[in-house]
Amino acid sequence: MHIVDRRLNPGGKSLPNRQRFLRRVKDMAQRAVRESAREKDIRDLGKDGRISVPADGVREPRFSRQPGTGLQDYIIPGNKTYVEGDRIERPPGGGGAGGAGEGGDGGENSEDAFHFALTRDEFLELFLDDLELPDLAKRRLSIVETEGLRRAGYTVSGSPANLALTRTLRNSMSRRIALKRPKLEEFAALEAQIAEVSEFDPILPELKLKLEALRERSKRIPYVDPLDLRFRRFEPYPRPIAQAVMFCLMDVSGSMTEHMKDLAKRFYILLHIFLTRRYKHVEIVFIRHTDKATEVDEETFFGSRETGGTLVSSALVEMKRVITERYDPNDWNIYAAQASDGDNVSSDGPTSTELLRAHILPACQHFAYLEVGDENGPRAGFVEHRTTLWRTYEALAKSGEPLAMRKVNHRRDIYPVFRELFGPKDARQSAEA
């Protein structure tokens, strides 16, 4: 009898099966994931990855008998009152008495949806699949460098742990062949010959001498010579680590309702998830502003209320300050997302434009402006009102600056807008056109 402990075997034996399964349901799963993202709190995205896909795509058909057709009979236990010849009313829904018979197959097939859970990674993979970061090629992606080790050929010196055995023995063998080191078979043959010839044979001393010579030679030419040794060589190389910083700018003046802030927050969270999937290291800077801007922590950013006017350029100035102080554009990928209800002091327009054009946009990888509106959207019958800020930014965008802008009224629009901003290139262009 053997006992084998399999517990330490690598897990995930059915991972390839799962991948095949996911690949098969990819389209449907993607739809389901996006559907669920629309309804769910974005904060909880991917936490509980339960989704369901139409069972049709993953059905495994077999020939099986249709229950409820033809003559069927059942033997069942637990008779209490029936006697032969009794009639029993047909239970509703056809089938047999008590669901006996081949209920199993029918049950599975009649299900119209197949439920299963995705891991957070799989969820996000489907969720953010085919999205891409804009204009990556323009900048150096890799900035901070750490050292890694990688194989780089062989060397004649090194630590015993790195001994390249095959290489060493190959060298040893070629040397032995080249220098004609006597082989074991030669010894054996000669010794056999010596054993065969009689003691008084004149040839004997000669053979013995020959054997002695062979021994001598084999001693002088070692099996493995220090000359043969080879070691695996490793060399250090710089390993790039991509890092990014994400600026969240938000207007917190009195005109921003809770609903608007919620929309903005959802957008930021999506952006954060997206960035963390692309970069090992993502930092977030929160800048809120009324008529003056401050850098704050997350809680204050979303939580506290402020009163005051609205001066967008103050936030841009603050952002510029943070960039120059801490995030050198050469070292960091900078993303910025600004949310606002669009109010701005009209005299601030030129200042903001100038700031953006001269300092912010050149430093940024991507700058997105999200205008959040009322839940009910623009009131019916009114021509859509263009806010001060929108007009300012529109002029910038028209002049070819890398600035993306969208309007959002309802939280179900957040994800589509996000997809528009980061979707595949051609889709984005056609959306903007």
In the complex, which residues of this chain contact another protein (CB under 8 A)?
Answer: 1-7, 9, 11, 13-14, 16-24, 50, 58-66, 68-80, 82-90, 96-103, 105-106, 109, 114-117
Nearer to another protein, 61 or 381 (CB): 61
Question: Least distance (Å) from another protein to the CB of residue 378?
Answer: 44
Nearer to another protein, 106 or 182 (CB): 106
Nearer to another protein, 123 or 247 (CB): 123
Run of H or E including 156 = none
Question: Least distance (Å) from another protein to the CB of residue 8?
Answer: 9
Q: What is the 3-state secondary structure (H, E, C) of 237-304?
A: EEEEECEEEEEEEEECCCCCCHHHHHHHHHHHHHHHHHHHHHCCEEEEEEEEECCCEEEECHHHHHHC
Q: Which residues contact 390 (CB under 8 A, 6 or more apart)?
A: 342, 371, 405, 407
Question: Least distance (Å) from another protein to the CB of residue 43?
Answer: 23
What's the CA gap between 11 and 18, in Å, rounded? 13
Question: Least distance (Å) from another protein to the CB of residue 115?
Answer: 7
What's the CA gap between 420 and 404, in Å, rounded? 10
Question: Least distance (Å) from another protein to the CB of residue 45?
Answer: 19
Question: Least distance (Å) from another protein to the CB of residue 128?
Answer: 21
Burial 264-290 (b: 16+ CB within 10 A, else e): bbbbbebbbbbbeebbeebebbbbbbb
Could you tell me if 341 and 387 are in contact, meaning their C-beta atoms sit under 8 angstroms apart?
yes
181 secondary structure, DSSP code? P
If one counts every other C-beta atom within 10 angstroms of the C-beta of residue 232, the result is: 17
Nearer to another protein, 120 or 175 (CB): 120
Nearer to another protein, 122 or 251 (CB): 122
Distance set, CA 322 to CA 20, 161, 266, 296, 310 (Å): 47, 49, 24, 12, 20
Name residue, tokens 């979303």: 302
Strand 243-251 versus strand 333-340 pairing type: parallel
Question: Least distance (Å) from another protein to the CB of residue 113?
Answer: 12
Nearer to another protein, 39 or 60 (CB): 60
Nearer to another protein, 70 or 381 (CB): 70
Nearer to another protein, 118 or 244 (CB): 118
Question: Least distance (Å) from another protein to the CB of residue 77?
Answer: 5
Question: Least distance (Å) from another protein to the CB of residue 64?
Answer: 5
Nearer to another protein, 114 or 187 (CB): 114
What's the CA gap between 285 and 289, in Å, rounded? 13
Among residues 193, 182, 186, which one has the least CA distance to residue 218? 182
Question: Least distance (Å) from another protein to the CB of residue 415?
Answer: 25
Nearer to another protein, 4 or 380 (CB): 4
| Crossing angle for the helix pair 258-278 and 120-128, to the nearest 10 degrees | 100
Question: Least distance (Å) from another protein to the CB of residue 27?
Answer: 14
> Can you list the alpha helix ranges (DSSP code H) found in 146-202?
165-178, 184-196
What's the CA gap between 121 and 424, in Å, rounded? 21
Backbone CA torsion sign across 215, 220, 222, 223: negative
Nearer to another protein, 85 or 160 (CB): 85
